[in-house]
Chains A and B, each alone.
Chain A
Amino acid sequence: MLDVLQSGNLAGAAAPAGGDGRKSERRNGLLFVSPWLLGLLLFYIGPMIATLVMSFTDYHYVSESGAGTRFVGLDNWSRLFNDPMVAHSAFVTLKFALLFVPLSVLLPLALAYLMTARGLWARGFFRAAFFLPAIVPGVSALFVWQGFLNGDDGWLNRMLGVIGISGPNWLGDTTWVLPGYALIATWGVGNTMLIFTSALNGVPRELYEAATIDGAGPWYLFRHVTLPMISPMTFYNLVLTLVALGQYFVVPFVLTKGTGDPGGSGMFYTMYFYRETFRFYDAGYGSALAWMMFAAIMAATGLLFWSQRFWVHYAYEVKS
């Protein structure tokens, strides 16, 4: 028994080291992961292949004319590259990324830094308070935000009014709608803050002590000790933020009822995809749009993974 524990080979405890034992172990392993594999095949790989095939057809969920589905070759793909709404919605998404990505990483990092400050009073309370929004149902919170950001009698503009600033029509003005959505995004930073808090707590004290003895100030410590040490978590949060950006849909959809108003300035790529696929039932074109989105997110994530060699510091060497 001790041998088994020492070897860590619980599943093969009763089996000899020979081929039969390994086979049995592999079979059991496969059996245990098979529900997940089945789910992956049925609900991810299968639909992905189906949508790739559909992107070469004119398949409509509900056809007004009642005509059957036809293969249309590359028509949907060529339409995608000539559709001004695709470029527009991608541009809206990229513009939003300029606000969303830094805010989703830097704000929780700043909060986590404060949470780990030595002299902070009521640390537990603040940590809970910042995390609390993460457990409020998203759509209900959105309606509160809608009231908060209302240009006419919203609380934010009332507060700005107290200091003599006439606030904009946050969700109804083409200039301010994306900053408005970015403000709403601050609602969900609690999760990321917790990850950063954990990473900051994991930085060895000795490093700070050694650097301090060498004369490092607070900024130097942060720049040359803290940031490199938490860079794996920063990288992880960046990847998640990027994926969240690619999926950004619920906020503009709920607040504009899917219109992307005002004037299309809130028409994100995901919203356009949804409109074509599920409002106009154009599943063939929608599939091409979905694959394009998938390719873009994969490319961006790949770029991020490639870039980590320049700025992510791992305590151990990663070998492929």
Chain B
Amino acid sequence: MPTTNQSASGGTGRSPLRQPTRRAVLMGALGAGAALATSACSSGGSGGNGGGVTITWFVGLGTGADPGQPEKQQRVVDAFNASQNEITLKLNVVSAASAQDTLATQISGGNAPDIVGPVGIGGAQLFDGQWLDLAPLVKSEGFDTSVYSTAQMDAMKDRTGAQVALPFGVYPSFIWYNKDLFDEAKLPYPPQKFGAKYNGGTWDMAALRELAKKLTVDANGNDATSSAFDPKKIVQWGFDPQYNEGTPQNHGTFFGAGSYVAKDNKTAQIPPAWLAEWKWYYDMIWTDHSAPTYQQLQSDTLNKGNAFATGKVAMAFTHTWYLASLTDSSGTPQTFWDIAANPSYNGEITDKQNSDSFRLTKAGKHPEAAFKVLAYLLTTGAGDLLKIYNAMPANKKLQADYIKSLDKTWTQGVDWQVALDALEHPDVPSAEGWMPNYNKSVDLTNKFGNRWVTTPGLDIDAEAAKLRTQLQALFDTAG
């Protein structure tokens, strides 16, 4: 072992195994640091196909992070980057579970993305005050908004009247029904024209409730109208407000539009239509047993909440985004269903509509470039993106192609005109609209909603009064 020439201080000896000098170590560390920094800069800088400024697109606050979606969105990004050389678009997809935290952290850390979306009205409220008013950019860039209706444009304004988004995708809601279960019960299908009659009578909420009872069946084959019906052995349910069960304002809008906050933006209120729906739905769960409880929804029988897709629920009330979940366990589209018109309540028909769009952050550093990307996503890229998100185009010119594309997947001959007609009955104001202390207020309403689907024997009038009182307390503490 050639160690004899080593000196105490590592000085004169020239052994090949000598200890590295401090300078060598420092130089090595500096070199490694520089290499890391260069690598970091090149990956986060303005490299890539497009060149020029880098625009970051944050996905996850709404749809867009489900399996298969990120790759397809990346193809849209690649197409944009290949189409020009002034902007490099970077996609940042975050899972829905952590998107809110991630975006909050990015904004607070001064690292806000330029574009966020697709995001619905409710998701955007979580970051109220962070969105850029697009009106000046629409004007300066000459973006054509004539393809959207005034109502759609207004729906994209925030509570201050700022145009914080442009219409992109809409998700009307309606009744989805299982044809097989109706056939088995020898019952006529619900009407597909809004305002039409059902079986000679008015197609209203009372009719739907009665129909749901007939379609709720126990293990012995008795339906919920029978005295022999056993609610402990239900194998088929009549109705479920699919994926809206624990959110009172969402399923409440089935009866009529409303808001928890009065027009003064300060006073808490419970819209009468919502209260009526809450009692109606609560009784369907706990008295009629025609709507599943939360426990039943979370069972394997109802596929942990994706109830209608199991084929064990006769009718559901939900939005077009539900198409993404309407598959069997192998991912094959289910074709046992069609869609029908919403029933009326007190003679009025309300269609709860969700909408998705993209928003620019106020903290974004390149608003003009970001708006150019936004314009691309809303026009050239819209066709592909709408398919990825299962969204109906807000742009009426694109709607016919969208319907055609649906028929390729859902081959049973769905009457998509129902979805188009539903757009004529929008819920104004939106159930997802602003209210003071938004995050805490939504948390509170969900707490009540979850309690109702898990707890029998409640007095819903008293619950609603309690909710109003607690909401008012939250509104009063809003900054």
**Bound CA span A154–B304, Å:** 11
In the complex, the chain B residue whose C-beta lies closest to that of A16 is B8
Could you tell me which residues of chain B, from 425 to 477, have a CB within 8 Å of some CB in chain A?
A: 437-440, 443, 446-447, 450-451, 454-455
Alpha-carbon separation in the docked complex, A20 to B301 (Å)? 75
Q: Contacts of B478 on A, CB cut-off 8 Å?
A: 64
The reply to whether A61 and B104 contact each other, CB–CB distance below 8 Å, is yes
Per the 8 Å Cβ criterion, residues 351-388 of B in contact with A are none
- Complex CA distance for A180 and B179, rounded to whole angstroms: 39
Within the complex, which residue of A1, A27, A63, A153 is in contact with B299, where a contact is CB–CB below 8 Å?
A: A153
User: In A265-311, which residues have CB < 8 Å from any B CB?
Assistant: 275, 278-281, 283
Residues A281 and B104 in contact in the complex (CB < 8 Å), given A20-B9, A262-B454: yes
Report yes or no: A259 in contact with B450, Cβ–Cβ below 8 A.
yes
B76-122 CB contacts (< 8 Å) to partner A: 100-101, 104-105, 107-108
Do B129 and A66 touch across chains, with their CB atoms under 8 A apart? yes
Chain B residues with Cβ below 8 Å from A281 are 104, 108, 439
Q: Are B129 and A172 in contact (CB under 8 A)?
A: no
Give per-residue flags for B278-311: 1 if the beta carbon is below 8 A from chain A beta carbons, else 0.
0000000000000001111011110010000000
B479 closest partner in A (C-beta): A65
Collect the chain A residues with CB atoms within 8 Å of residue B296's CB: 152
Q: Are B104 and A15 in contact (CB under 8 A)?
A: no
Q: Which residues of chain A are within 8 angstroms of B25 by Cβ–Cβ distance? A: 31
Minimum CB–CB distance from A164 to chain B (whole Å) comes to 15
> How many chain-A residues does the 8 Å CB contact rule pick out?
39
Chain B minimum-CB-distance residue to A148: B300
Indicate if the CB atoms of A1 and B295 lie closer than 8 Å: no
Among A64, A65, A279, the most chain B Cβ lie within 10 Å of the Cβ of A64
Which B residues are CB-close (under 8 A) to A275? Answer: 443
- A87-118 residues with Cβ-Cβ distance < 8 A to B are none
Chain B residue contacts of A262, Cβ below 8 A: 450-451, 454-455
| Tally of chain B residues near chain A (CB < 8 A) | 42
B1 touches A147 (CB 8 A): no
Q: How many angstroms from the CA of A152 to the CA of B298 in the assembled complex? A: 9
Residue of B nearest to A172 (CB): B295
Q: Shortest beta-carbon distance, B130 to chain A, in Å?
A: 6
What is the CA–CA distance of A31 and B23 in the complex, to the nearest angstrom?
A: 13
Whole-angstrom CA separation of A62 from B284 in the bound complex: 40
The one of B8, B10, B108, B301 that contacts A62, using a Cβ cutoff of 8 Å = B108
Nearest to B13 among chain A residues (CB) is A14
A21 within 8 A of B: yes
Cβ-defined contact, B439 with A280, below 8 A: yes
A157, chain B: closest CB distance, angstroms: 10
Asked if residues A146 and B8 are in contact (CB atoms below 8 Å), the reply is no
The answer to whether B454 and A150 have CB atoms under 8 Å apart is no
A172 to chain B, nearest CB (A): 5
A261 touches B454 (CB 8 A): yes
* Cβ contact within 8 Å between B447 and A259: yes
A151 touches B295 (CB 8 A): yes
B269 within 8 A of partner (CB): no
Out of B1, B129, B301, name the residue touching A152 (CB < 8 Å). B301
Total A-B residue contacts, Cβ distance less than 8 Å: 94
Q: Is the CB of A147 within 8 A of B304?
A: yes
Q: Which residues of chain A are within 8 angstroms of B8 by Cβ–Cβ distance?
A: 14-16, 20-21
Q: Nearest-CB distance from A38 to chain B (Å)?
A: 11
**CB-CB nearest in chain B for A264:** B447
Tell me how far the C-beta of B34 lies from the nearest C-beta in chain A, rounded to whole angstroms. Answer: 17
A278 vs B439: C-alpha distance when bound (angstroms): 11
Min distance, Cβ A2 to any Cβ of chain B, angstroms:
12
Is residue B329 within 8 Å, beta carbon to beta carbon, of the partner chain?
no
Q: How far is the CA of A21 from the CA of B440 in the complex (A)?
A: 62
Q: How far is the CB of B456 from chain A (nearest CB, A)?
A: 11
Measured CB to CB, the nearest residue on chain B to A151 is: B295
Q: How far is the CA of A261 from the CA of B301 in the complex (A)?
A: 22
Cross-chain contact A64 with B129 (CB below 8 angstroms) = yes
Tell me if A191 counts as interface (CB < 8 A to partner B): no
Q: Which of A20, A67, A169 has the largest number of chain B CB atoms within 10 A?
A: A169
CB distance from A304 to the nearest CB of B (A): 33
B100→A279 contact, CB < 8 A: yes
Q: How far is the CA of A259 from the CA of B454 in the complex (A)?
A: 13
Residue B127 lies at the interface, judged by CB distance under 8 Å to chain A:
yes
Would you give 13 A-B contacts (Cβ < 8 Å), ordered by A? A14-B10, A15-B8, A62-B130, A63-B129, A64-B129, A147-B300, A151-B295, A152-B298, A172-B294, A172-B295, A262-B454, A263-B455, A278-B101
Residues of A at the B interface (CB closer than 8 Å) are 1, 13-16, 20-21, 24, 27-28, 31, 61-67, 143, 146-147, 150-154, 169, 171-172, 259, 261-263, 275, 278-281, 283
* 5 closest residue pairs by CB, A with B: A61-B108, A65-B479, A61-B104, A152-B299, A14-B6
